[in-house]
Structure 1
Amino acid sequence: MNQALTQARLKTVRDHMALECVQDWDAVIATFEHPRYEMLGNGQVYDGEAEVRAYFDASRKAFPDQVNEIIALAADDGTNTVLVEFFLIGTHLGDFTVRGKVYPATGKGFKVRMAATFEFAPGSDKVICERPYTSPDLKLQQLGLL
């Protein structure tokens, strides 16, 4: 186990998530070797910088104040992965589209507990894929839309 690499990966994930909170998309993209999100709640995949930036833009239209609060981090050097558990928090201030249905802004807030894995290239502290695990229905429930 390479402790320096493990610590660098944990720092990359902390930085990545903090940069998402302040919407510094250039710096978030810089945490990737190759930008890629695989959304395990809805099956969407955003591959490459253009698609990832479009995802950032679309997600912040519905929830412009969206932030995350890290609960716990764990690294698995054997699989080049960091697991993070966190709360995702935001206010519904724009159209939110789920499974083709558009929900107009409610002004209500949500706070959902989630997990995500960050996969790293072997020997690198650069992310090659983030996989958030959640259900869009959790937000809908908290927003009173289900």
Structure 2
Amino acid sequence: MKLRPYNHFVCSCADGEHGDGTPNIVMASCLSLAFLATSPGTSMSTNEEIIRELYAVAEGASLNLERFVALFAEDGYFLDMSSGQKWTGAEVRQPLEGLASTFPDFHRELLKVYSAADGVIIVELRLQGTHAGDFPIPGGVLRATGKRFDVPCCDVFVMEGGKVKAFHCYNMRSVWLEQLGAGKG
């Protein structure tokens, strides 16, 4: 196995922001993936197609939890890096169930999808929606505010045998909570 640098995660914004004043901190988290292993025979386009399907079935308007779970390996997991919560196997449906009741119009705007070696897919995206239900936060529950949110995020997937083996979500929870009126989180 040979290591090579992977330099796709350079912010294209001269000031390190996305033009809306939001710092590019999420992408800095992804910079830890500076070196990825290369191996022959990785089906990058198929893995990317699977991840695009995963996002499609996770949309608030067309949520399909059974299909979402089916796209994961039996021991595959979903790790929310901002909260430290981890769901494995069929449990991966739980965060989507919670988001659907709190943000029924939840949408993920995919900005960039990078297919890397060894089944790694990295997605730069924005989480968007309207706060229409109770949202558990550190120290309690934030009651519905009706406010819209638009939060930067970076998701890192590891694919194995056409299934999601690992899903690490790096969302900017502090920005999310501030946009919903809960201040810094």
Q: Do they fold alike, i.e. is TM over 0.5?
A: yes
Structure 2 contact 69–89 (Cα < 8 Å) conserved:
no
Residue 42, structure 1, aligned to residue 79, structure 2: no
* Counterparts of 2:49 and 2:94, CA distance in 1: 25
Match of residue 17 from structure 1: 55
Residue 96, structure 1, aligned to residue 113, structure 2: no
* Counterparts of 1:57 and 1:16, CA distance in 2: 15
Higher relative contact order (CA 8 A, sep 6+): 1
Runs of 4+ in 1 over 4 A off after TM superposition: none
1:47-90: CA deviation from partner (whole Å, max 9, x where unpaired) = 120x2222221122211110101100111213x21000111101
Aligned with residue 120 of structure 1, among 159, 175, 182? 159
Structure 2 contact 111–123 (Cα < 8 Å) conserved:
yes
* Counterparts of 2:134 and 2:150, CA distance in 1: 18
Structure 1 contact 92–107 (Cα < 8 Å) conserved:
yes
Match of residue 133 from structure 1: 170
Runs of at least 5 residues in structure 2 that lack an aligned partner in the other structure: 1-39
Q: Cα RMSD (Å) of the superposition?
A: 1.4
Aligned with residue 106 of structure 1, among 145, 148, 173? 145
Aligned with residue 31 of structure 1, among 71, 83, 108? 71
Runs of at least 5 residues in structure 1 that lack an aligned partner in the other structure: none
**CA offset at residue 140 of structure 1?**
1.1
Aligned with residue 65 of structure 1, among 96, 105, 113? 105
* Counterparts of 1:133 and 1:115, CA distance in 2: 5
1:27-53: CA deviation from partner (whole Å, max 9, x where unpaired) = 11121123411111110001120x222
**Which protein has the larger Cα radius of gyration, Structure 1 or Structure 2?**
2
Match of residue 8 from structure 1: 46
Paired residues, what number?
141
Q: What one-letter code is carried by the residue in structure 2 that aligns with 1:95?
A: D
Match of residue 55 from structure 1: 95
Match of residue 143 from structure 1: 180
Name which of structure 1's ranges 126-135 and 28-37 shifts more when overlaid on structure 2: 28-37
Say which SS state the counterpart of residue 156 (structure 2) adopts: strand
Structure 2 contact 73–89 (Cα < 8 Å) conserved:
no
Structure 1 contact 118–128 (Cα < 8 Å) conserved:
yes
* Counterparts of 1:98 and 1:135, CA distance in 2: 13
* Counterparts of 1:119 and 1:100, CA distance in 2: 33
